Structure 1
């Protein structure tokens, strides 16, 4: 709230037009515990979504 009232952002903030979330967010996914290797695999899999050609390159 304080940041939205800062002079830099004040013109972008209209209290009557603020979106409201009708259902609470679930952040349960943030409680998962990953090993370093798991994180590397997830990053690699994500990169393949943007660069599918990389699947064909052997390491």
Structure 2
């Protein structure tokens, strides 16, 4: 019976660790996406000539 309790306890702990680790990873990805978006907007503001929008003629070629 003790071994069964230990196995159940290990399964619950593993599930909780996996659950919270996945939330932590999603939060980390969200922060990095936000940060890279801010950097991209700053670069567009800093050097607008590098980021000219494509014209329709360039898309047809």
Q: Which structure is larger by alpha-carbon Rg, 1 or 2?
A: 2
Q: Which one scores higher on RCO, CA 8 angstroms, separation ≥ 6?
A: 1
Would the TM-score normalized by the shorter structure come out above 0.5?
no
Superposition TM-score tier, normalisation by shorter sequence: 0.3 to 0.5
TM-score in terms of structure 2 length: 0.33
